[in-house]
């Protein structure tokens, strides 16, 4: 195994190869939710995404002996997922990931509505500072959660992996096979929509 593999990954791989069920369950608990979200970028329904993820885990088990450690375990698993999901997405002839990605990037989507700016590009209506106390209220968090749920699947996957789960830009790029620019554009558009939802909610009277 080459040196790129972290000691934790190496250990996990060793345990999986030895048939350690708890090692497998640990891996599932840490990756399954992200796998589901990413799968949704490629297939049209949550049920299909679950199938794809299940198929991915079986492929991981069947392939673990051949895993060479040239990428992190996480990246390797996501590669299997995206391949499985793409095949399934094509079979379903419904949602094809990178064409939907293209659509998402197709037209320019301004981060802030045009009407907020004057003709010369300055704020017509200044953003108002958000009230600290309301920011931390449970209700605000559920507004935030719903805003993320409503994002197009690719933006939702990137925002969740980056901002909820704390992955680095490189980890996301590798796992989803995105260019640097695409990763940033999806993050930018997703975050901008989430900010708008919060602004809208926080500008209403409590």
Partner 1 sequence: MSIGLAHLNCRELVELVTAYLEGDLSYGERKRFDAHLAACDGCTTYVEQMRSTIALTGTLRVDDVSPEAEEALRHAFREWKAH
Binding site for partner 1 (CB under 8 A): 19, 21, 24-25, 28-29, 32-34, 36, 50, 53-54, 57-58, 61-62, 110-112, 114, 117, 120-123, 126-130, 135, 140-141, 144-145, 148, 159, 163-166, 169, 184, 187-188, 191-192, 194-195, 198-199
How is residue 147 written in tokens?
A: 């805003």
User: At residue 42, what are phi and psi to the nearest 5 degrees?
Assistant: -110, -25
Rounded Cα gap, residues 60 and 25, in angstroms: 13
Tell the smallest beta-carbon distance from residue 129 to partner 1 (Å).
5
Choose between 21 and 205: whose C-beta lies nearer to partner 1.
21
Tell the smallest beta-carbon distance from residue 192 to partner 1 (Å).
8
Residues in the chain: 206
Tell the smallest beta-carbon distance from residue 3 to partner 1 (Å).
27
Tell the smallest beta-carbon distance from residue 184 to partner 1 (Å).
6
Confirm if 192 and 112 have CB atoms less than 8 A apart. yes
Choose between 7 and 19: whose C-beta lies nearer to partner 1.
19
Choose between 32 and 72: whose C-beta lies nearer to partner 1.
32
Dmax over CA atoms of the chain, in Å, equals 66
Confirm if 63 and 83 have CB atoms less than 8 A apart. no
Question: Which position has the token pair 């190496």?
Answer: 10
């Amino acid at each position: 195994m080459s040196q790129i593999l972290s000691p934790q990954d190496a250990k996990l791989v060793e345990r999986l190869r030895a048939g350690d069920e708890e090692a497998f369950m640990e891996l599932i608990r840490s990756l399954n939710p992200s796998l589901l979200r990413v799968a949704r970028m490629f297939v049209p329904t949550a049920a299909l995404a679950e199938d794809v993820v299940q198929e991915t885990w079986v492929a991981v088990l069947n392939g673990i002996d051949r895993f060479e450690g040239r990428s992190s375990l996480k990246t390797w698993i996501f590669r299997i997922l995206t391949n499985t999901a793409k095949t399934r997405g094509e079979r379903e002839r419904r949602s094809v990931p990178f064409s939907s990605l293209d659509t998402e990037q197709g037209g320019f989507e301004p981060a802030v509505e045009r009407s907020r700016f004057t003709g010369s590009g300055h704020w017509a209506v200044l953003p108002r500072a958000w009230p600290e106390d309301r920011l931390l209220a449970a209700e605000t968090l559920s507004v935030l959660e719903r805003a993320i749920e409503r994002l197009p699947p690719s933006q939702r996957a990137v925002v969740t992996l980056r901002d909820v789960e704390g992955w680095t830009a490189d980890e996301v790029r590798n796992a989803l096979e995105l260019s640097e620019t695409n990763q940033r554009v999806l993050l930018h558009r997703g975050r901008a929509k989430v900010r708008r939802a919060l602004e809208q909610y926080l500008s209403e009277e409590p």
